[in-house]
Amino acid sequence: MLVIVAPGQGAQTPGFLTPWLEDPDFRARFEWLSTVAGLDLVHYGTNADADQIRATEIAQPLLVATGLVAALGLFPHPTDAFGKVGAVAGHSVGELGAAAGARVISAEQAMVLVRERGRAMAEAAAVTPTGMTAILGGDRDAVLAALDKHGLTAANDNGPGQIVAAGTMEQLAALASDPPEKARLMPLSVAGAFHTDHMAPAVGHLGALARSVSVHDPRTRVISNRDGRVVHSGQEVLKRIVGQIASPVRWDLCMDTMSDLGITGFLEMPPAGTLTGIAKRALRGVETFALKTPDQLEDARAFCDKHGEFSELDTTPTWRMVVSPAKGTFHIAEEAYAASALAAGAAIGDVAGRQDRIVVITDHGGQVVEWLVENGDLVSPGQPLVRLHPEGGF
């Protein structure tokens, strides 16, 4: 199984776009997305220095546009991707690129949203001096206890040995003077405490805009930063992307879900490297590919062919499926099992996993065509549970 991921802010480096823009098709598409965003992203990806592209309102659109256009190089016929890609995920702002890749939103919608996301987060960061510090190594429980002691948030939980703390500069200074045992602290050059309550104003702004965005249900599994769950509702994908601005990135749980899915191939879109490095440590036995330059595209396509498989999420518009959000044991709700039709928002049962029980809700109503699992069956993330025929069509 192939998973494609998109990196988050901090992956960009000065001039990283230069080789990509030598291709006239890439350049034309990139200039179009730059126009949509209202930014000269060609300049920022080629001639701007590190300080310029570090700015939140620049870095975020630059990253999303790069991933979207590179995806067209990887899959010249976009529909081919849905027969190969088992799941997509994005780290932080990368979730917008992943959502567009799964056809939840269009590339143009993604660029408008990321432009507004970057601006709103930059404005929120300017209110109070805040920052972020990476904590490398140390005992996980001791690290989390230290963050709690100083009132900090684990804004990014990237797996074993890598947690990013966020909060006020005073809180970060207190952590630096009293670090967790056997841990190394590395202050990050970012504009503020992303993925914390300090970003709440940005959530409100983007949430108001998102209410006018038309969405579609994903064409492949989307793994959410919030809790690593597979999301199969377009509305829920967008809702989570908005809320995630002020909530921690649980990349560790995303990788747990990838492992549960049984992935064999992990491909990171440009500017690649950060997530691939994490995957090499956390996803043992999984082959990785960091797509950094266009001369790698042929090898990247071969990688996709090697690990790709036909997705079980059939998109024929004659029925819808309710899928499992996580790995665990599925328990069917008796009233749902006995019903011939289910209303939108009906609970069909729950999935009991390692830590909790997740209630499974139908995003769309319809006639029950068939149950695809039995009570007590073990299920995997994204596995179809029940097939519905929508009442009144689509």
The residues carrying an active-site annotation are 92, 195
φ, ψ of residue 23 in degrees (nearest 5): -85, 120
Whole-angstrom Cα distance, residue 310 to residue 158?
29
Q: What H or E segment, with its residue span, contains residue 5?
A: strand 2-6
Whole-angstrom Cα distance, residue 208 to residue 214?
13
| Letter string b/e over residues 67-92, b meaning 16 or more CB atoms within 10 A of that residue's CB | bbbbbebbbeeeeebbebbbbbbbbb
Give the up-direction half-sphere exposure of residue 305: CA atoms within 13 A in the CB hemisphere.
Answer: 7
Q: How far is CA 291 from CA 53, 95, 258, 386, in A?
A: 20, 17, 19, 37
Q: Residue 197 is encoded by which pair of tokens?
A: 């309550």
> Which residue has tokens 């590339």?
107
Whole-angstrom Cα distance, residue 231 to residue 320?
14
In order, the DSSP letters of 348-386 are EEEEE-SS-EEEEE-SS-EEEEEE-S-TT-EE-TT-EEE
Cβ contacts of 305 within 8 Å, gap of 6 or more: 84
Nearest to 348 by CA among 373, 328, 327: 373
